[in-house]
Amino acid sequence: MFFKIIVLTAAFFAASSSNAVAVETAPHISDREIVERLTRLEEGQKAILREMDKRFEEMDKRLDARFDAMDKRLEDMNKHIGDMVRVFMAIVGAFAAIVVSTIGFALWDRRTMIRPFEDKVKIIETTIAQNGDKTDSILDVLRGLGKTNEQVAEVLKRFNLL
């Protein structure tokens, strides 16, 4: 135990004396040296600023070149999109022309096909109108005959005329 106390005391004195040795005195600098060092610092800062400006200018040039290339690509894309729109409009126009011409042809064909039938129907109507009284008279005669003749009556019933 005695040995421990001696070792601890020696360590304490050794530690406290080393603090005094750790402090150094700064060398004396003259005002002229301070001014020279400040001047060199200012020149170094100016050189750094010049280098930064130069690099920023280079970056601006590279960015301008990239933006110009991008603008050119966008113009090319706009041109291609415009071409595609024109092609699409041409296709839509052709389709519309085909639809309109098909409908027009169908209407023309129906009119030219129906006109002869209309003419025939008009002729038949006028003939019936002219012979309407005769037809009614013939039906009256046949009905009268159907009352006395069973075969005529059967024929008239079959055609719903009796």
pLDDT at 9 over 80: no
Structural domain includes residue 11: no
pLDDT at 18 over 60: no
Dihedral angle over CA of 155, 159, 160, 162, nearest 10 = -30
Domain count along the chain = 1
| pLDDT score, position 16 | 59
| pLDDT score, position 161 | 78
| pLDDT score, position 130 | 82
Structural domain includes residue 22: no
Query: Sign of torsion, CA 123 126 127 132?
Result: positive
Average pLDDT on 95-119 reads 91
Structural domain includes residue 144: yes
pLDDT at 22 over 80: no
Across 8-73, the runs of DSSP E, i.e. the strands, are none
Check residues 23 and 72 and name the one with the higher pLDDT: 72
Range of the domain at 44: 33-158
Structural domain includes residue 128: yes
Tokens of 86: 């024109």
Model confidence pTM above 0.75: no
Across 80-160, the runs of DSSP E, i.e. the strands, are none
* DSSP 8-state class, residue 26: P
**Confidence band of 13 (pLDDT split at 50, 70, 90):** low
Taking only the tens place, the pLDDT of each residue in 56-98 is 999 999 999 999 999 999 999 999 999 999 999 999 999 999 9
Question: Average model confidence (pLDDT) for the chain?
Answer: 86
| pLDDT score, position 69 | 93
Structural domain includes residue 121: yes
- For 3-35, b/e burial (b = at least 16 CB within 10 A) is eeeeeeeeeeeeeeeeeeeeeeeeeeeeeeeee
